[in-house]
């Protein structure tokens, strides 16, 4: 399955605020024709397909090189669509949706048997979210279909935060891309299961554990987030992810940067640094000023360093409080646990 050309539609948030659905007419028609369309969300770009069609969803796995036993998250434009997709909407879900939908929170429900089995990977549950990005909302509302959409990258690569990133990985492998500019949060959505008696956090994201507990009280954390020996249950976390071409290392203490840079350069390595201060001896340096800044720029900086032919990337460790938990989760994956 290969496409001669991946089409790009340029649509920004201001267009959608003005209410211009005609800009999305063609990609909407293509989705209904079981084609693959990448689109922006407030987290990362997603690779969308009709979630009711086995044919359409199977194309996602082929295009990404994603294992078929890795379930997908379904995106909707209206809360009312939930009634068609899930067996039950518990009271806790209503409380969470009241606060966090539309937004970067995926909720895991018991699924009705209407979705493609390729979406659920044979499980009885499904993760669903309603994005807040205006372009995503306009697109999903126009489609009038549930859209399965993992991140729009080759499996294992850093998730895309711009349309250019999608093109780097999937040009000629998908039908089209809705270019809505750079994403906001920059990390994939938080995933929370509400099928257990006590909700379980399966993947940290922009909606933090602390945010959730302010609304519904204490929640559990998936053991896989606490131990590398456990198999993750969240969509998109079963296999190695987020890795650039370069070797990534977590630097525990800022004072270790100078010696780490010198060692790598002595071995003929081109070095990139992501940290809260500038290290002039590095070949490339990406300075971040806050946890939110790091979250927004994390994948972007990894891909930028690939373009700069960096072979070693040193990233400063951060606190695991709030959004720091999501950052460190992705950083651990990208580094494969390698620390300095």
242 among annotated binding-site residues:
yes
User: String of b and e for 160-197 (b: at least 16 CB within 10 Å)?
Assistant: bbbbebbbbbbeebbbbbbbbbebbbbbbbbbbbbbee
The closest of 179, 69, 68, 86 to 130, measured between CA atoms, is: 86
Q: Give the HSE-up count for residue 328: Cα atoms under 13 Å, Cβ half-sphere.
A: 16
Residue located via tokens 């809505």: 180
Q: What angle do CA 156, 158, 163 make, to 5 degrees?
A: 120
Q: Residue 278 and residue 78: Cα distance in Å, rounded?
A: 44
66 among annotated binding-site residues:
yes
Residue 46 φ/ψ, nearest 5 degrees: -105, 155
Structure tokens at 17: 């605020």
3 among annotated binding-site residues:
no
58 among annotated binding-site residues:
no
Strand 220-221 with 247-251, pairing = unpaired
Strand 220-221 with 200-203, pairing = parallel
149 among annotated binding-site residues:
yes
234 among annotated binding-site residues:
no
95 among annotated binding-site residues:
no
289 among annotated binding-site residues:
no
151 among annotated binding-site residues:
yes
203 among annotated binding-site residues:
yes
State how far Cα 159 lies from the chain centre: 6
CB–CB of 46/39 below 8 Å?
yes
270 among annotated binding-site residues:
no
Residue located via tokens 């093109």: 167
User: String of b and e for 49-79 (b: at least 16 CB within 10 Å)?
Assistant: bbbbbeebbbbbbebbebeeebbbbbbbbee
Structure tokens at 198: 């006590």
258 among annotated binding-site residues:
no
Q: Which helix (H) or strand (E) holds 330?
A: helix 324-335
The closest of 38, 50, 31, 21 to 176, measured between CA atoms, is: 38
Annotated binding-site residues for ATP read: 66, 70, 125, 151, 159, 203, 242
Annotated binding-site residues for L-threonine read: 43, 75, 129, 149, 189
Annotated binding-site residues read: 43, 66, 70, 75, 125, 129, 149, 151, 159, 189, 203, 242
């Amino acid at each position: 399955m290969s496409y001669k050309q991946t089409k790009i539609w340029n649509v920004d948030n201001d267009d959608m605020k003005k209410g211009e659905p005609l800009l999305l007419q063609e990609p909407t028609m293509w989705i209904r024709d079981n084609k693959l369309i990448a689109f922006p969300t407030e987290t990362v770009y997603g690779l969308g397909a009709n979630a009711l069609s086995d044919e359409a969803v199977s194309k996602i796995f082929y295009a990404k090189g994603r294992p078929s036993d890795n379930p997908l998250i379904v995106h909707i434009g209206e809360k009312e669509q939930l009634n068609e997709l899930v067996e039950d909407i518990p009271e806790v879900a209503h409380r969470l949706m009241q606060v966090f939908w539309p937004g970067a929170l995926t909720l895991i429900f018991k699924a009705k048997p209407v979705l493609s089995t390729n979406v659920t990977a044979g499980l009885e549950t499904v993760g669903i979210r309603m994005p807040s990005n205006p372009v995503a909302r306009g697109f999903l509302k126009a489609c009038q279909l549930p859209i399965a959409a993992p991140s729009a990258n080759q499996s294992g690569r850093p998730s895309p935060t711009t349309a250019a990133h999608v093109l780097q990985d999937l040009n000629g492998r998908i039908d089209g891309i809705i270019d809505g500019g750079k994403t906001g949060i920059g990390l994939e959505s938080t995933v929370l299961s509400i099928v257990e008696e006590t909700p379980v956090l399966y993947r940290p994201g922009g909606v933090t554990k602390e945010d959730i507990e302010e609304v519904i009280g204490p929640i559990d954390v998936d053991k896989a987030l606490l131990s590398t020996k456990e198999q993750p249950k969240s969509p998109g976390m079963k296999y190695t992810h987020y890795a650039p071409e370069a070797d990534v290392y977590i630097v525990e203490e800022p004072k270790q940067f100078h010696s780490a840079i010198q060692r790598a350069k002595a071995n003929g390595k081109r070095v990139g640094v992501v940290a809260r201060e500038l290290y002039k001896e590095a070949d490339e340096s990406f300075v971040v000023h806050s946890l939110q800044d790091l979250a927004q720029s994390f994948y972007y900086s990894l891909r930028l360093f690939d373009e700069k032919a960096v072979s070693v990337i040193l990233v400063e460790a951060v606190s695991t409080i709030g959004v720091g938990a999501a950052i460190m989760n992705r950083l651990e994956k990208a580094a494969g646990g390698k620390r300095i």
